[in-house]
Structure 1
Amino acid sequence: MKHLAIKLHLWLGLASGLVVFIVALTGSMLAFRDELEPLTNARFFTVSSPTNGPRRPLDLLVATATAQFPGKPVSKVIVEDQPDRTVIVELKQSKKAKDVLAVALDPYTGRVVATRVEESAFFPTVLRLHRYLCLGETGKVITGISCSLFLVIMLTGLVLWWPNRKNRAQRFRIKWNASFKRLNWDLHAVVGFYVLPFIFLIASTGLIWSYKWVNNLLFLALDGKPQTKREAPANASAPGEAATGRLTQVLAQTDKQLPHPGRITLTFPETDSLSLTVAKVDETAAVSNIVDFLYFDLRTGLPTGQRLYDEETRGFKARRLIFPVHTGSMFGWPTKLIALLVALLTATLPLSGAYMWWQKRNRKSRPKPIRIRPQQIAPV
């Protein structure tokens, strides 16, 4: 069994090592994305004007964005609860879902302060590299297979690491004053053992995005049926012009019905027959990614339905926890810090493993010196 584990660990590691390295490294970069992005792109996310004055109506902000970039329909509006943050209006540039122009507006002056194409922005690019290697559906297949192989690699690695009475102490600590060969082995085996519980959980939850059947398995286990498609209800009003101030009204009703602090996202439907979807994050919840959904008539701004987190099924609640478990954001910065360290250490494993393979292969390729014993020398 150990011989089989060696073969599987080696060849599966070589097959998926590069992808694992990229996914782990980009995952570490995304751990503190919410905290870093407003700092690295402050002009886009924060406002420099005084934050104690009245805010402009949301309808006016959206109208300013669409007037400055005509012919581009609104797909999403993001309103943060911090007073120094911009309001972001996302506009569709084409029929492609990812072809989005994000417009940042100062909510106090109503002016456009910055724009960016989401597909070429830094952190969205890192996210696409993390999920799909920036290769679309093909990349999704590659990362899904590599993630599955990595689970097998971790299990076989545990078999190879498993100590006996002679090497028990060696398996739990790194010998820093050893030769580079021994040090590299320790960094691979010992570090791999300590990060294994965390990275196994992260990789397992990553399969939810890679394979639909894994996602459905979660719902089958908790709800007894696969995940049902969620769609906004139909508008209650007849087709016609939109009422003045409807978005400002929607924002006020959302804050009234859901008074807790949190980011509000207004998502516009693909067709005019469906309602506007409003999602609000509950930042007072014990764990992150707790979101309530409200629906409003796209033309009148009147309520058409709701989907509150407390009323959701067990499967949906568990599905909501997958993201904070995978990213380490469940309990804020302490778990994010753990996820960052685990991801960085995981990124070193393919490197140290590849070095061991290269060293062993290079040693085998060298010709063995011919040793002549004294008795083999013929007398003169």
Structure 2
Amino acid sequence: MTNLKKVMLFCHRWLGFISGLVVFIVALSGCVFCFQDEIQDAMYSYRTVKQQSKGYVQPSELLASVKKAYPKASPDYIYYYGVERPAGVLANLGAEGYEYVYLDPYTAKITYHEKPQTNFFIIVEYIHLYLLLPPAIGKWVVGIAVIIFVVLMITGIILWWPKRKTDRKRSFTIKWGGRWRRFNYDLHNVLGFYATSIALLLAITGLAIAFEPVSKAIYNVANLGRIDYKSEVTEPKSDSLKRSGLAKQPVIDMAFAYARKQVPNAQMFLIHNDPALSGTIGVGAYAKSMHYSHADGFEFDKYNGKLLKTYDYEKKSAGLKLNEMNYDIHVGQILGLPGKIIAFLASLICASLPVTGFIIWLGKRKKGKPKKERIITHRRSRKHQMQKI
């Protein structure tokens, strides 16, 4: 082994010790979260509704229903998830936190409500993102561990890659009938090799979710560094001093109607009704229910309903499209159910790598003991057992 590979092996081993536990937890929680929509749909009846011919009620009716149940609530976000799914309103209750309210989108009747932090999969998500630590601390602990894991995958491939062509067939397959140590070694190396490309993709998209600089870097690289796209990520703001021509009907209803007319085939709509900062109301129209890519967007002045900006999906830059696909790529749903299965298996393999790697290290440590030392240790152990008897 060359000196360079010795250094790489040393780094691979000790970086694995440093990040192993965090990687195990993050990868395992990622496995659980991959199918959260399918599992919750199967478990909870409130996640589906019967489609009706009369169409959706207006967003203002949903807000009125929530305000009646929670007078102090500030409904920040409204979701129309699909024709056979409930509408959802995220209500800000101030010091009491948030309440997520599900409503029938055809009648505005509340069907279920919960605090997000009590939902099992939200807890799993926070474990995945922050290890249940304060977000400002947890995201750095997870982020650093993920970066280390990326280094581990690259150094692992370099260290393991077979030199001779004749060894490659043996190296790329698991010896199922072999001894336990060889079987564990193959699990670590062979499965690690096959999962590397997907694991790198999951790691990069995860870092982009946690860290805005990573997201910006992806945006700039995809756009080849061109600066003329910056206007598309600049959010418009209402001039609160110019309130002339106030809308005759709720702006939120006008905004929703306009978005539906412009994107009639959209299956899901997200309305942000948090105008405190920008003074705008925005509507996102998504091509597919429960998928957060392929969206058109519209921003309106909250006072007079004037259209301030349009985000036409076909005109978006490659960088913006890629960033909007980030979540769907990260959980695998960009490819539908097969993609989720691939993401699940890759995450499961990633969770196993710290375990199999630790077992390899233990085996080498035991194997590395001089024979005489092992005999003495064995005799001492036998003597200790005899004394107990």
TM range (shorter): 0.7 to 0.9
Q: Does 1:281 align with 2:279?
A: no
Mapped to 2, the partners of 1:272 and 1:210 lie a distance apart of 22
1:2 aligns with 2:8: no
Q: How far apart, in 1, do the equivalents of 2:95 and 2:313 lie?
A: 31
1:125 alignment partner, SS class: helix
Following the alignment from structure 2 to structure 1, what is the Cα–Cα distance between the partners of residues 319 and 188?
A: 37
Q: Residue 250 in 1 paired to residue 251 in 2?
A: no
Match of 2:307 among 303, 307, 315: 303
- Cα–Cα, structure 1 residues 227 and 211, in superposed 2: closer, same or farther, change >3 Å? farther
Matches for 1:153-232 after TM superposition, within 5 Å: 153-165=152-164, 167-221=167-221, 222=223, 223-225=225-227, 230-232=234-236
Shift of 1:235: 5.9
Q: Output the CA distance in 1 between the equivalents of 2:136 and 2:304.
A: 38
Residue by residue over 1:171-204, the C-alpha shift from the partner in whole angstroms, topping out at 9 and shown as x without a partner, is 1111111121111111111111111111122213
2:360 corresponds to: 356
Rounded Cα–Cα distance in structure 2 between residues aligned with 1:64 and 1:42: 21
How many angstroms apart in 2 are the aligned matches of 1:352 and 1:272?
A: 50
Match of 1:39?
42
Q: 1:123 aligns with which of 98, 121, 131?
A: 121
C-alpha displacement of 1:241: 8.5
Residue 91 in 1 paired to residue 85 in 2? Answer: no
Q: Deviations over 1:266-312 (max 9, x none)?
A: 1013417611011111239xx96111111223244443331222222
Cα distance in 1 between the residues matched to 2:141 and 2:177: 39
Structure 1 letter corresponding to 2:330: H
Please tell me the residue identity of whatever aligns with 1:332: G
CA distance in 2, matches of 1:215, 1:246: 32
Q: Contact 1:260–1:283 (CA<8 Å) still a contact in 2?
A: no
User: What SS is found at the alignment partner of 2:132?
Assistant: coil
Equivalent position to 1:324, from 315, 323, 328: 328
CA distance in 2, matches of 1:224, 1:10: 41
**TM norm structure 2:** 0.84
Q: Which runs of 5+ in 2 are unaligned?
A: 377-389
In the TM superposition, residue 87 of structure 1 has moved relative to its aligned partner by 1.2
Task: Give distance in 2, aligned partners of 1:220 and 1:52.
Answer: 45
Whether the aligned pair in 1 keeps the contact of 2:275 and 2:302 (CA below 8 Å) is no
Q: Which residue of 1 aligns with 2:274?
A: 269
Report the 3-state secondary structure (helix = DSSP H, G, I; strand = E; otherwise coil) of the residue aligned with 2:374: coil
Question: Could you say which residue in structure 1 is the equivalent of 2:24?
Answer: 21
Other-structure match for 1:140: 139
Counterparts of 2:245 and 2:318, CA distance in 1: 39
**Partner SS state of residue 261, structure 1:** coil
Structure 1 residue 95 displacement after superposition: 6.9
Q: Deviations over 1:43-74 (max 9, x none)?
A: 2x223x67345544332221011111011111
TM-score where L is the length of structure 1: 0.85
Q: Distance in 2 between matches of 1:232 and 1:37?
A: 36
The CA distance in 2 between the partners of 1:50 and 1:263, in whole Å, is 14
Aligned counterparts of 1:46 and 1:148: Cα–Cα separation in 2: 39
Match of 1:11 among 8, 14, 38: 14
Q: Who is 1:368 aligned against?
A: 374
Give the distance between the partners of 1:126 and 1:178, measured in 2 at CA: 37
194-203 vs 160-169, greater mean Cα deviation: 160-169
More helix by share: 2
The secondary structure found in structure 2 opposite 1:305 is strand
Q: CA deviation at 1:242?
A: 7.3
1:75 to partner: Cα distance: 0.3
Asked if 1:73 corresponds to 2:74, the answer is: yes
Contact 2:286 2:295 in 1 (8 A): yes
Distance, in Å, in 2 between the alignment partners of 1:113 and 1:340 is 31
Distance 1:31 1:180 in 2: 31
Are the structure 2 counterparts of residues 58 and 201 from structure 1 closer, same or farther at C-alpha, using a change threshold of 3 Å? closer
- RMSD (Å) for aligned C-alpha atoms: 2.8
Contact 1:195 1:342 in 2 (8 A): yes
Displacement of 1:2: 1.9
* Cα separation, partners in 2 of 1:204 and 1:58, compared to 1, 3 Å: closer
Letter of the structure 1 residue corresponding to residue 346 of structure 2: V
**SS in structure 1 opposite 2:266?**
coil
Secondary structure in 1 aligned to 2:234?
Answer: coil
Question: Equivalents in 2 of 1:307, 1:50: separation in Å?
Answer: 29
Matched length: 363
